[in-house]
Structure 1
Amino acid sequence: MNTPKPLGSSARPAVHFTAPDGWLNDPLGVTWRDGRYELFYQALPGANAWNPRCRWGHATSPDLLTWTHHPIALEPGDDELGCWSGGLVLPDLASALSARVYYTSVDEPDMDLGTVRLARPADDGWQRWDKGPIVVTPPPGEDLRVFRDPVVLRDGDRWRMLVGAGYRDGTPAVLTFVSTDLEDWTYDGVLASTRTSPTGPLPSAQAWECPQLLQIGGRHVLVVSTWRDGTTHDVLAGVGSFEDGRMRVERWQRLTHGAGHYAATEFVDAEGEPCLLFWIREVADLNGAWTGVLSVPYRLSLDNAITDQVRLTPHPAVPAPGADSRRSGVRHLVLADGSAVGLTPTDHNSSPVEVRYERGTVTVTSHGAQTVVHDAPGPVHVLVDGPVIEVCTGTALVGLGTRP
């Protein structure tokens, strides 16, 4: 797991979610219910660097921007080292107690090969969760190096679980399991891997983490986060068709550039629109009070004129361009092709950042290093929120923190 350098000032961002204290990484189980959003996330209270003893933090919000923190929802017991990433499913919208969390339970000596454990809510507010049994283990016959990050979705008259995986030969994959009752699961093979990709070489990966499968119109989109050599890298989206438990990707797209966004989680907002939320790695409090932030939410659509290219747009909840930044705490700029903006951080110890949009290419320059995104359709959104900067090119994201 990457450990970010101490970037930015000690001020918290206004609309980017941070843990009350300590470490934060993957967002999990975002759910709209009873007039509010539920958010879970990987948390390490009191820590300013990752370690394997992760918990599930919990917060709620009416608008995806202002959050109320709640007690830790899940924490490791005597029989596990950490409660790692997973997902939440709510089979009966009228019953909060019907919810199920499926998370990666890890232990030594091989934490990369996790198991999937079930947890049920002990109250309607999802404040406390009772752990159940391990329901899925790495399938026999698959020579796996990595197995983690389950998510569950409805597939016709049954349930389907996706789990991120990587083979010992270096092939990343998403494996899949099926169930009729959310209790007993049967292995159903490989949902997708680089061996099944018809679109040529992809960014190098030894495993795909945090798999998400969503539908936009009549098309399906598989979102995966790439892991190799023990570190996190990029987020990819594959557009195609999902049928009979297999995802046939026709077009892959890189959604993130640089060392910012990772571990995307999919959710449906209050208006029923598909969205993604990301962990931004390279931001932390200089005084060590908090480390890591979540991105603002992004709505997804498909540009059918460009062979089903995934489009990302800051969620309408985000302060609009031109809004009073003194009131919202966020500066939201929109760049037209042929323009640039220099961002001078309010912290005098931090260096300026330049974002340039020219002839369809976005270049973000910070501390002499450049992140370049080609074929950017625009409009290019630039969000500045205290120590956090997000750049949305229309089809990809660049995230960073200002740093000394």
Structure 2
Amino acid sequence: MTASTATTADTFRPALHYAARNTWLNDPNGLIHHGGLYHLYYQNNPVDNVWGNMSWGHATSADLLAWTEHPVAIACDEEEDIFSGSIVFDRHNTSAFGTESQAPLVAVYTSAFKAGSTHHGVQAQSLAYSLDGGYTWTKHAGNPVLDRGSAEFRDPKVFRYDGDAGSYWVMVAVEAKDFMVVLYKSEDLKDWELLSSFGPANATGGVWECPDLFPLPVDGDPENLKWVLVVNLNPGGPNHGSAGQYFIGDFDGTTFTSSTTVTEGLQDPARLGEYQWLDWGRDYYAAVSFSDAPDNRRLMIGWMNNWQYANEIPTSPWRSPMSLVREVSLRTVDGTLRLAQHVAEDPASVSGLAPSFTLEAAAISNEMVVLDGAAGSVQRIDLTFTPGTAAEFGLVVRGDGTQGTRIGIQPAQGRIFVDRRDSGLTDFHESFASIDSAPLLAIDGSYQLSVYVDHCSVEVFAQGGLVTVTELIFPSTTSTGVALYASGGTATVGSLNLTRWS
């Protein structure tokens, strides 16, 4: 299908994912749970649906699924664009921005200074504060609060550290073109002292952006904590373009020490597949976690797009959705620590929906089997496969016999892939049509998949979320079929449960 195929303005607007009403968005910013709501701020162009005029958009949700869009929270002006950053609840008013009765929310963001500023050409860290729960913001008169004189110093993620080294604020930011994470400490969010740096390491095929650092219990044991350092990069992902990598190690309040570094210094392209990736798809970038999530859950959300083609995806008047929110955990797999991810709040459970289509054990052999009664454009599909003699097996979603998105497993190669070459609209950019793959091994002789299909996306969670693949797709409204297939032999579907919204 060509990019000239007619579509209505909201053909691809997601049902399960957040997208702005009629503007552009990219990186999630300032993620926090506060006042009983999840606050999602994000890079936003308030006046167009392509990148520019960077400000912070704002949306809130009680359940991580239904989002309410609010007016722009922190707007750019003639002196600065408002680049990425984070928000903390300064409950003890260390910043002195609060009052006797109201502790402030404090946003720490990157000022990308324009020609009208005395800091022109510099990226530095600045503050804004809110006394009404995050809806209106006042910029700090003393901005910027941290200036290295660098043109590529950005994306501060701030958290409260309480440990053996003391209690203070920690900022994790990047020197993007040096492939370096820099860590600072502060008592009041205004005066910052350098702690240490990390990098270059592992993937360095593009600038480093949007870091995050947080502890997680290993295998659910609160007495055994490890720290996870997330570093997004563009380009240089495992399947080209934007992606996010992570390191696992220890943080002593001063220094992060990685135990999962594969290559020090600049990237060895031949070892790209050995690094640990948040997601192996093309469309999961700038992922960071929420502060103060209830029950100490570590919840993450990413921008569901890729800088290779981000400004050209065929959506209107909005452009770019966010991923579903994911809860992350650390699991030991064959003696190795791995990040596992699952959808934080299952849309089916929240909606009270039961599976609308089920299938018990069924063998397939050198065939494509269309599942009558399973068609839909917004779905969750849970299924298991047991390999037989087939060289490849899997399923096709949003299909019509001519187009469709193929999710396949090749057991001999130990790979899973998403093939979107015939997924619908693809020729709006030369790099969009793709086959994107990830390493995947059987567990106890089988493969388990959870697949979330929306109007413009597919998110695949394999083997309990040890491997995820996220891809944008732009299918015809009439392409709603679901099919199973095997080629080069046999495979068995152990079970399939499908929940359909539309």
Cα separation, partners in 2 of 1:147 and 1:340, compared to 1, 3 Å: same
Aligned to 1:314: 343
Aligned equivalent of 2:194 = 187
Say if 2:78 and 2:114, in contact at 8 Å, map to a contact too: no
Unmatched 5+ stretches in structure 1: none
- Following the alignment from structure 1 to structure 2, what is the Cα–Cα distance between the partners of residues 329 and 403? 11
User: Does the Cα contact within 8 Å between 2:79 and 2:114 map onto a contact in 1?
Assistant: no
Per residue, is there more strand in 1 or in 2? 1
Deviations 1:115-157 (A, max 9, x none): 1110011x423211000132444436xxx66211011111231
The alpha-carbon distance between structure 1 residues 102 and 232, as it changes in their structure 2 partners (threshold 3 A), is farther
Percent identity among equivalent residues?
26
Q: Of 211, 222, 238, which aligns to 2:247?
A: 238
Larger Rg: 2
Q: Counterparts in 2 of 1:293-332, with a 5 A limit?
A: 293-306=321-334, 307-319=336-348, 323-324=355-356, 330-332=378-380
- Say which is worse superposed, 297-306 or 20-29, in terms of deviation: 297-306
Which residue number in structure 1 is paired with residue 370 of structure 2?
Answer: none
- The residue that corresponds to 2:456 in the other structure is 387
Question: May I ask how many residue pairs the two structures share in their alignment?
Answer: 381
CA contact under 8 A between 1:225 and 1:263: conserved in structure 2? Answer: yes
* Amino acid paired to 1:37: Y
Match among 159, 162, 171 for residue 153 of structure 1: 159
Contact 2:146 2:191 in 1 (8 A): no
What do residues 316-341 of structure 1 show as CA deviations (whole Å, max 9, x unaligned)?
A: 33325964599x97311123244511
Q: Counterparts of 1:8 and 1:248 in 2: how far apart (Å)?
A: 50
Code of the aligned partner of 1:384:
V
Query: Quick one: structure 1 residues 357 and 96, their matched pair in 2 at CA, closer, same or farther if it must change by over 3 Å?
Result: farther
Counterpart residue type for residue 471 of structure 2? L
Q: Distance in 1 between matches of 2:452 and 2:320?
A: 17
**CA 1:208–1:136 in structure 2 vs 1: closer, same or farther (change >3 Å)?**
farther
Q: Which runs of structure 2 are paired with 1:202-213 in the superposition (5 Å)? A: 202-213=202-213
Q: For residue 384 of structure 2, what is the amino acid of its counterpart? A: A
Structure 2 vs 1, CA of residues 64 and 329 (structure 1 numbering), >3 Å: closer, same or farther?
farther
Q: Is the 8 A contact 1:274 1:300 kept in 2?
A: yes
SS of 1:271's equivalent in the other structure is: helix
In structure 2, C-alpha distance between the alignment counterparts of 1:112 and 1:257, rounded to whole Å: 34
Deviations 1:88-129 (A, max 9, x none): 0113199764210011111246988411110011x4232110
> What residue is the counterpart of 1:261 in the other structure?
284
SS in 2 for 1:294: coil
* TM-score normalised to structure 1 length: 0.84
Partner of 2:430: none
Q: Pairwise CA RMSD of aligned residues? A: 3.2
Of 421, 435, 441, 1:370 maps to 435
Unaligned runs of 5+ in 2: 94-100, 218-224, 261-274, 358-373, 388-392, 423-433, 476-502
Q: CA deviation at 1:358?
A: 4.1
Find the counterpart in structure 2 of residue 163 from structure 1. Answer: 173
Distance change (3 Å), C-alpha of 1:249 and 1:281: same
TM-score by length of 2: 0.69
Is the aligned partner of 1:20 residue 2:21?
yes
